[in-house]
Amino acid sequence: MLKQFIDCYWYLEKSSEDVVELHPKLIANPAMHLIIAGQEQPYLYSQDVSQSAGLGCHLLHPASKSTQLHHSHAFSIIGVKFLPGAAFALAGLLPQVVVNKVEDFNNKQMCLLLQAYLFKGDVEQQEVVRLLDESLLPFCQQVSINKHYQQNQHCLQLLAKNKTIKQLAEQLFCSKRTLERNFLKVTGLTLKQYQTMQRLELLVTYLYQQGQQKQNWAEIAAQFGFSDQPHLIRYLKQQIGLSPNNYLNQRDLTIDVYGDFED
């Protein structure tokens, strides 16, 4: 039941002695994350000139642009990564998606329960998973999955196979307009935004895996469907604010909030 709405659970910890990138950038991401932290644990995120700050448990909504994470302080957090569109179905647990938003999690009772058990310091991983399952399962069991969410799940499966919007509509037996309207209704994102996020993740992961070796940007542009090298450069500058070479020098991106490309 949980797998219909939840991608994974994750854990991230940083001590004051750890030497890590203090301000990594999370690339545009279609998933909502519930982040469980201690009541006095501060959080801070930046997007362009705006900032979101607070304490304790919070929700990181899908983002259509890169988000800077501020990890200058020691922290210990547990997260729930929901599938795109899960908030549409889990209305009793999650708010409606507002792209590029960070907000406090309003289920205080659930937060207090999880905080009391999950941050004791001696809890086994299996016990953490059990507690999360027990806390989230009642909300999932109350859901009556409607046709909009079902179509969206099928759409996501086809998008993972790099289907075009036209192919999606044909295989889901609906018009492109109906498909796009339903996808936006459920996920808070347009199909084009989602496909852009897919391509960016694949591209940045590829660049990361190439190491420091010199790149043939014309070949990479062709491999990822760009018309030419300048098109690739413009795309990356728009998405992450860096040219390809500058990214390879800085390497300050992460594809997900809970880890780097090797985890």
Amino acid (one-letter) located at 3? K
Q: What pTM does this model have?
A: 0.87
The CATH topology of domain 192-254 is Arc Repressor Mutant, subunit A (1.10.10)
Structure confidence at residue 253 (pLDDT): 67
CATH class held by domain 2-141:
mainly beta
CB 156 within 8 A of CB 84: yes
At residue 261, the pLDDT reads: 38
Beta bridge partners of 53: 44
| Nearest to 89, CA basis, from 145, 44, 23, 47 | 145
Taking the chain (263 residues) in consecutive chunks of 10 residues, what is each chunk's mean pLDDT?
91 75 81 91 89 93 89 83 93 89 89 80 82 91 88 94 93 96 95 92 84 83 91 88 75 60 38
pLDDT at position 257, please? 58
Helix (H, G, I), strand (E, B) or coil at 160: coil
Q: What is the pLDDT of residue 252?
A: 62
| Residues whose CB falls within 8 Å of the CB of residue 55, separated by 6 or more in sequence, listed in order | 37, 39, 40, 41, 42, 43
CB 104 within 8 A of CB 57: yes
Pair 226, 232: CB distance under 8 Å: yes
